[in-house]
Amino acid sequence: MACICLSYLSFAVFGRLPGEEIEAMDVNSLTKQYPLLEYASNFWSGHFLRSEKITALQLTLLEQFLNSPCSVTWMTTFYPYFCQKLGENHRKIFRSQQSIIAKLKQKLRVSGNVDPTLYKLCMEKFDRILLESVQYSLRMEQFGSGPLAKSTLEKKLRLAECYSVYEIKAAKEIASETLESSQELLGRMEPLTLELQHTKLRTEMHIQQRSPTIDSRDLIPNFIQLVEDHTKVFGPDHVRTLDCRHGLALMHFRRRDIAKAQYLLEPVYRKMVEILGSTSRATQSVANNLASCANMQQQWDYAEKILQAIPELTKAAAEPLEIDITGFHANTLHALSILAAILAARGEDQRSEILHQRVIDGFTVLEGPKAHRIYESAINKGQALRDQHKYGLARKHYQEWLKRSDQHLGPESKHSREIRKRIADLDSKEKKWRETAQIMKVPMVQALPFGQGRTMTIFVAIAILISVVFSFGATYFRK
């Protein structure tokens, strides 16, 4: 089926030639002429990834597709068009495409007996195809319509959103420059201008989140104004307006005003479920952040109930350790990390440790070693080890991830600083644990195979107390 889909998407009619363009508004008519187009666009990669063995024909078709104009059409027109029908915005669409590329690369890495030349050509193209496709589309639009045409500004917006996946500061610069042009040519309340303003605020929010030491301005008033503008132009229940309200809630979340963030997210989540359904990725993104708020306010049952609406989560959290976690979407991995935090709060530290490791493995493949969510889960896994009194393993784990954080994020990054803080705290915790164990004269339970250190400590203490009482009672009655 993967071969059929790739062959279908490689039809010459779907390719782009210099000066030619397949507009999104023409895709609907194309689907009537080519009824398999939507299915092939959405599922070719899934069929490829589910193949037990990559055949020579599959690899040949993949290489031809990646190095043809048809792949540009798929990247910039077909896939975004069909995803938008499900309520997703371009920012999330680019992340989904990045995830698909990462999974395909991983599939080729673990596939043996493939043609080395074709393998190399595919891997080299994967590294640059997404950004190159958007840049190519922009160049063609500038050539055909001019640098200040509305259609060109739209392509620049897509380039900014694409850069947000790779280089957030470059994304902000492109969005800021394009926003100025759009405000001057189209006006402040033009939908394109509002979308550019939203992208610019989003990039600023992510820059502040990743670099908390730099001077930052309060973005909440800007988000409030943007929500008001979207409400006037699109209406209060439009998906774009809801997305802006989601962004406003995230700003409160970043400022640690968790109650306010949850208050804002709950109506957005309900409306998203009503409009797009609970299985939409846009809805799942809101659900994850709402569950995070509930978890941080110790509303664990409520948080877990929200997460249960995510279809893939049950499978991702299943007991078998041999599960292929790299096959899940980033939203599911985020939900899994929240579930792991809930389990830790309930004292299920061993289960939490396992799930955090799955999140680490999944995001490492999907987003690479610089993804911040990897280090957040690594920190939480270390805490789960510590709470099981596995101090040696926790220390080794933190030291390994401190090296990675220093290498990929920098020694002064917030994650490196947090890991150093956790190592210092670990030393203090272990010292107190040893002192307590010495006083009670209870054997250390640091390396219990089933990871229930705290439970066993309580059990042993109760057993000792019963023994003392029984001995005292026996002595008393002998008297």
Extents of the domains making up the chain = 1-145, 312-451
User: What pLDDT is attached to residue 93?
Assistant: 83
User: What pLDDT is attached to residue 264?
Assistant: 96
Taking a C-beta distance cutoff of 8 angstroms, is the pair 34, 96 a contact?
no
Q: Measured between alpha carbons, how far is residue 311 from residues 201, 284, 316 in Å? A: 31, 10, 10
Q: What is the mean pLDDT of residues 184-201?
A: 91
User: Which residues contact residue 66 at a Cβ distance below 8 angstroms, ignoring those fewer than 6 apart?
Assistant: 121, 122, 125, 126, 129
Number of Cβ within a 10 Å radius of residue 55:
15
pLDDT at 339 over 90: yes
What's the CATH fold of domain 312-451?
1.25.40
Taking a C-beta distance cutoff of 8 angstroms, is the pair 199, 161 a contact?
yes
User: What pLDDT is attached to residue 217?
Assistant: 62
pLDDT at 465 over 60: no
pLDDT band of residue 428 (cuts 50, 70, 90) is confident
pLDDT at 67 over 50: yes
Largest pairwise CA distance in the chain: 106
3-state helix, strand, coil in the chain (%, to 5): 75, 0, 25
Mean of per-residue pLDDT scores for the chain: 83
Q: What is the mean pLDDT of residues 415-441?
A: 82
pTM of the model: 0.75
The C-alpha atoms of residue 59 and residue 46 are separated, in whole angstroms, by 15
3-state SS, 118-152, equals HHHHHHHHHCCHHHHHHHHHHHHHHHHHCCCCHHH
Q: What is the mean pLDDT of residues 361-388?
A: 88
pLDDT at 214 over 90: no
